[in-house]
Chain A
């Protein structure tokens, strides 16, 4: 008998499954499709903006009180959030796809960290160490805006805006999903030294599909890599770092990244020189593109590899079509197969099907908004006229995207009376109420932290 059946294979479901499996539970993941990981930028956005935010959040822990009281982050608390993110870093490091913080001053903090830790041992233990929490950094978006990001994979690290090296944005001529001139101009408007360059894509390939995924597959090939490295070196000036579209391969992009760095460094000794006592900073970085997202695909693959090592099966193509519950407990769910429904039984169930984008919530023409698996109560407005605001970019976001499943502190879905709907059901990720992860730029943060917390709640028998 499974201890936990996770429904949904996005970042939430996969990280929850990982957490539960590491806690010793028998876990399986079933999902209709692959989740939204394939679409996002591949960074971990924790909390970029709070209510009506013009200014990006720098210190996320201090911004939490500005969130609604029932916001998932406030249910979890700073300590759980920080621990969950630490666990995520541990997972990705083990998978060979390390995610690091982007704090502008993490090095300064790191140097004083050891002392602080010592002093904290004697402290009350309630106050959370700023060093442990860290702050948001800023990365360059594909249109040249500053994206508030908490953790970034190695390939995106050197794109941080807290780095005074001038930037050359190099695109592939003819690639439809990346515009270096536009990025460079918007960086200049923000006072950042930047210029753009164009690499002759047609010298690399005569294939006609120039989607980020196809280009990444192309750049998995050694011959294409060598040629590409030559082009990049050609357009790089001394002392610059080069921003490239995130297409540097699917399988071994870090090795390629190092090769590119070395190729540039060999031409420009300054590049590899230590700077202010820090280790050599990469001269190359990736900027995310329009979907499909190569960094997202890499993250998805890393998570699945780790789950496989833990013996967790991830079954895609299984949409839950029915369930059975009695006595306040769910007994089984059924998924569709070619011939007959397939029944899945587990002690506990975690709903991680996502919001409207992921398919966990469905809104119809009559104004009904439904949770698609268990028909759980939702906070979403059940009238179409209350769904949307007149301006697309309204900073308050659109109410339809803020509705979701209300939960208790253990992330158990609640009924109208405020009691758990089922004793063995938890919910996590974008399906949760009182958050709009896309407006807040908290998509991955919500996924990781609530997935982690729900899995722990299950493991500890809450």
Chain B
């Protein structure tokens, strides 16, 4: 078995885990991160993309609200290009309580969250599709965030600081030494899901940042962490309905957030308590509820074309009395609002504040820290508290630097919707488009495939938004498979040594890079900071002919099924018609269901096959 040694081992490649790796590496710790799938595969990649101002929680969860506004300000500096500065409206509709807005304003003031009331007519001029019957509108510094890009940028920052990130490495065992009452976690065994080989990692300290999977990770050390898993269902519309983040000005509930993110608007969410973080059914009533509630914000939303539905799981945590002393004291109490059956807490009412579990104090297990709870917005703060605790356990004092350190790409400024189109037009890249819906060019795809240890088209979807538009992979699935296959068949040219994740989404940058006509200057300041060896571009598993996942027929089949999972719950009207065109392409023209049979499976085949998203199906 291969063996590695490190100071800090991070479990989980979502926003939090990646943030922890970045923070720890910046503080000079030797750091390894393992993630069982691709970075952002969990909740990070399944949320609505809202950078909270905190206002949503001012009356319900003041701690979380304070964390949000403070982190909101920091992330705008450290992750500028991952954020679209949309600003946010909180709107009072006729359905909402009359006295809420006044209480809301007072609470915002108390918590120092900038809140400006603007005339409803002025808001409607800015957002003409908003419900004309709104009575009051407040503007707050909410924004839209690209959690995929932000995590990749954080990951690159972590790598540049010396951390090693291992996606597709699944934790199978935590190693412990010592007897009862004196146990210490000494490392872990992980399974490389692409090669099928085990890897033993010895670590001075393990930080459990597995989000909704934290309970499962802690259990491997014999420690109980009872997560409150709140499933949220979200829908994407095929166009942006507003350019501002819209919240209902009321106690947080279902379907009361509308976030413009890239080319779509996302309406969310539900909050259903679930037992496990995977196999998340999307019920028909949840879809209908999102649409009905969405109509209250933007009348007619329910008849707009819906592209896709998905569910993420909030990793909420509230320490219960029986399992040791509370590590987090929630300021406000809501038990009286709880429905009687809720046990022990309804996920809507669980705090969104972060929870740091020091298992040495809590359970007598040294060498393990769990960081959970929180919001995407507070991932950096979560990382900071986790690494602070790590310093304490390791007996060193090293200050956190993440709040003052920008990740690669911030020089681009805030994200703006037109950037891809602008580049495609400026550089005349029309013939290079592989995905017309999302303006993904061939070189972006090649760049992502060569430079990422990526294994599936689904990874490319997260990296460059492949297949996220109205046709949901109808045209680009075939093209992407063809291109990945070409990369493998040909002797794929060595990739440029200098690779900046910030340009992952830039059509023009890759084109220039590929045609070798221009030495890009954008990463110049990074070049002065020589990247460590293991940051050198990795050969993609999809490009490695020996890898199971390099089978083009498998890539095709998996991605078609992956897309199906997301569209099946929302197929009606035009989108059903679109799906029939996709059937025409993949069955009638390509005969993709009768390709030479290959029994091999990718690490994700069974995941895509899971029929949970169609639990409402009677078939």
Contact = CB atoms under 8 A, between A and B. Distances in A.
A143 B479 contact: no
Contact of B595 (A41, A145, A391): A145
B220 to A, nearest CB: 31
A389 B560 contact: no
Given A142-B478, A391-B564, A208 B594 contact: no
A390 B557 CA distance: 14
Given A182-B552, A186-B596, A390-B614, A41 B588 contact: yes
Nearest to B618: A385
A397 to B, nearest CB: 9
Interface stretch (A64-72, A435-443, A446-454): A435-443
A45 B587 CA distance: 12
4 tightest CB-CB pairs across the interface, nearest first? A179-B482, A390-B611, A392-B564, A189-B596
B392 interface: no
A189 B597 CA distance: 9
B349 to A, nearest CB: 31
Interface stretch (A264-272, A338-346, A352-360): A352-360
Contacts of B482: 178-179, 181-182
Nearest to B557: A393
B619 A400 contact: no
A95 interface: no
A362 to B, nearest CB: 7
A40 B485 contact: no
Contacts of B571: 387-388, 400
Given A176-B434, A385-B618, A56 B594 contact: yes
A40 B584 contact: yes
Contacts of B428: 208
Given A144-B595, A399-B619, A357 B581 contact: yes
Interface of A: 36, 39-41, 45, 54, 56, 141-147, 174, 176-179, 181-182, 185-186, 189-190, 196, 207-210, 288, 290-291, 293, 355-357, 359, 362-365, 367, 383-393, 395, 399-401, 438-439, 441, 443
A141 B560 contact: no
B394 interface: no
A395 B587 contact: no
B560 A392 contact: yes
A365 B588 contact: no
Contacts of A146: 591, 594
Interface string B320-352: 000000000000000000000000000000000
Interface string B576-615: 1100110111011111111110000000000001010110
Contact of B591 (A143, A182, A392): A143
B592 A145 contact: yes
Nearest to B570: A365
B525 to A, nearest CB: 34
B302 interface: yes
Interface string B466-495: 000000000100110111011001100000
B91 to A, nearest CB: 25
A143 B611 contact: no
B430 interface: yes
B223 interface: no
A178 B486 CA distance: 11
A441 B587 contact: yes
Nearest to A443: B588
Contacts of B552: 182, 185-186
Given A40-B589, A355-B580, A393-B593, 15 more contacts: A141-B590, A141-B591, A143-B590, A145-B591, A181-B485, A185-B552, A186-B596, A208-B431, A290-B589, A357-B580, A357-B581, A385-B284, A391-B564, A441-B591, A443-B588
B573 A364 contact: yes
A167 B596 CA distance: 18
Given A41-B589, A143-B590, A393-B557, A365 B291 contact: yes
B561 A141 contact: no
Contacts of B576: 356, 363, 400
B135 interface: no
A146 B429 CA distance: 34
Nearest to A291: B585
Contacts of B573: 362-365
B563 to A, nearest CB: 8
A143 B288 CA distance: 38
A321 to B, nearest CB: 18
6 contacts: A145-B595, A146-B594, A291-B585, A365-B302, A390-B617, A441-B588
Interface of B: 284, 288, 291, 302-303, 428-434, 442, 475, 478-479, 481-483, 485-486, 489-490, 552-553, 556-557, 560-561, 563-564, 568, 571-573, 576-577, 580-581, 583-585, 587-596, 609, 611, 613-614, 616-619
B591 A391 contact: no
Contacts of A367: 572
Contacts of B572: 363-365, 367, 384
B485 A179 contact: yes
Contacts of A144: 595
Nearest to B424: A208
Given A143-B595, A145-B590, A176-B442, A393 B580 contact: no
Contacts of B561: 391-393
A116 to B, nearest CB: 33
B619 to A, nearest CB: 5
A356 B580 contact: yes
Contacts of B557: 393
Contacts of B560: 392-393
A208 B284 CA distance: 43
A186 B590 CA distance: 12
Nearest to A179: B482
B596 A190 contact: yes
A181 B489 contact: yes
Given A39-B581, A145-B594, A438 B588 contact: yes
Contact of B489 (A185, A356, A387, A443): A185
A51 to B, nearest CB: 14
Contacts of B588: 40-41, 45, 438, 441, 443
A388 B489 CA distance: 37
B353 to A, nearest CB: 37
A174 B482 CA distance: 11
Contacts of A393: 557, 560-561, 592-593
Nearest to B488: A181
A318 to B, nearest CB: 20
B479 A384 contact: no
A129 to B, nearest CB: 29
A386 B573 CA distance: 16
Contacts of B489: 181, 185, 196
Contact of A390 (B430, B442, B481, B619): B619
Contacts of A39: 581, 584-585
A143 B589 CA distance: 9
A431 to B, nearest CB: 13
Most-contacted residue by chain A among B302, B486, B573, B580 (CB, 10 A): B580
A395 B564 CA distance: 15
Contact of B589 (A54, A288, A355): A288
A244 B156 CA distance: 43
B291 A174 contact: no
A383 to B, nearest CB: 7
Contacts of A179: 478-479, 481-483, 485-486
A388 B291 contact: no
Given A388-B568, A389-B617, A391-B561, A209 B581 contact: no
Nearest to A387: B571
Nearest to A437: B588
Contacts of B429: 208
Given A40-B584, A357-B581, A363-B576, A143 B592 contact: yes
Contact of A186 (B580, B595, B611): B595
B430 A209 contact: yes
Given A182-B482, A185-B552, A36 B592 contact: no
Interface centre among B442, B482, B591 (most CB of A within 10 A): B591
